[in-house]
Amino acid sequence: MRFAIIGIGSIAPIHAAAIRGVPGAELVAVATRNEDRGRAFAAEHGGAWYADYEELLAQAQADVVAICTPHDLHAPMTLAAAQAGAHVLCEKPMARNVAECDAMIAACDRAGVRLGVTFQGRFEPLSDRLKVALDAGRLGRLLWASANTLWHRTDAYYRSGPWRGTWAHEGGGVLINQAIHAIDLLIWLAGQPERVTARTRTLNHAIEVEDAALAILEYADGRLGLIQATTSAHPGYPERLEFFGSSGSVIYHKGAARLEWHLTDPAEDRTEEAAVSSGAARPMDISAAGHTALYNDFVAAIGAGRSSRVDGREGRRSVALVEAIYRSAASGSTVALAPCHVDLDGRS
């Protein structure tokens, strides 16, 4: 399986490490406009350097393209890769908005290639155990679900790239960038809410998008939920998800790699722990283990002719929720989420 990476920002070495963890996988090409960085990355991780991603798609004969570029480039690069016949693994968020997600899904469907989204949190051992327990009804009837991403980013972080903190390039702020992982997990573990009422603010950074957000979630079965997110919480706190049910509670201290169980039937209070991997204070304080598991699942899906565990339609769900939060905050009203139905023309 021949892999290529487009974009070699801070997350790209994690993708290169994940590729090394896939049996039979080979990194054959990388694309970036900066020749010095591109050649250095290729020398360290393998593959040939290309200055232009379209040249890479035409010449490298990659089976899978990993897109690790700023958000506004995810959609056009995915469409180009699909047209070239390459499967696509796209970094989070899948795109800036639902319309771009739908176009990406439709293009890959038409081309007969797989589209995956890099939400490696679903592959962490504690996430998997929590999913099994919630699906089995260990908390009884679920009453409440919440996700908290109370992180810290400096002004220098936002100045580190001209795309950061902009609507045109990033598509939003803390919700679509930092909190998107916790939002994806919340949807995967507790389902998509039916309605959202939200407020966003820019509290402490000189950026045009939000650095703080609150969203009240309402589910079809009457339960409630909450999303809290900010990049203004010095020094940055590990992300956390909470689930309260009629038969107990579980708090997923994801950033601290700990599950805290409090069950009533039968009575049980215990914790489970794993290796810590969190970007609460520094973006790259993460390991490659989740990415490696995601890559292995994606390759297995290609071989079996099935969808990967985080395919395009799954990746779209968090973007749809974030988009609804933005619409609610802008209008000051409650917004309903529509179900995902995408045809080959990209209509939803």
- DSSP assignments along 123-165, one per residue: GSHHHHHHHHHHHTTTTSSEEEEEEEEE-B--HHHHHTSTTTT
Return the structure tokens found at 305. Answer: 């002719």
pLDDT tens digits for 101-120?
999 999 999 999 999 999 99
pLDDT tens digits for 162-205?
999 999 999 999 999 999 999 999 999 999 999 999 999 999 99
pLDDT of residue 265: 84
AA identity, residue 43: A
Asked if omega into 235 is within 30° of 0 (cis), the reply is yes
C-alpha to C-alpha distance for 328 and 82, rounded to whole angstroms: 34
Provide the 3-class DSSP secondary structure of residue 320.
helix
What is the set of domains in the chain, with CATH numbers? 2-121+289-308 (3.40.50.720), 123-273 (3.30.360.10)
* Antiparallel, parallel or unpaired: β 267-273 and 258-264: antiparallel
C-alpha to C-alpha distance for 305 and 11, rounded to whole angstroms: 28
Q: Which residues of the chain have pLDDT under 50?
A: none
C-alpha to C-alpha distance for 152 and 279, rounded to whole angstroms: 9
C-alpha to C-alpha distance for 176 and 200, rounded to whole angstroms: 12
C-alpha to C-alpha distance for 7 and 123, rounded to whole angstroms: 23
Return the structure tokens found at 243. Answer: 């689930």
How far are the Cα atoms of 29, 123, 166, 215, 345 from residue 260, in angstroms, in the given order? Answer: 43, 19, 37, 24, 45
- DSSP assignments along 72-134, one per residue: GGHHHHHHHHHHTT-EEEEESSS-SSHHHHHHHHHHHHHHT--EEEE-GGGGSHHHHHHHHHH
In terms of phi and psi (left: phi > 0; alpha: psi -120 to 50; beta: otherwise), the region of 164 is beta
In terms of phi and psi (left: phi > 0; alpha: psi -120 to 50; beta: otherwise), the region of 79 is alpha
How far are the Cα atoms of 93, 102, 189, 206, 277 from residue 340, in angstroms, in the given order? Answer: 17, 9, 18, 35, 32
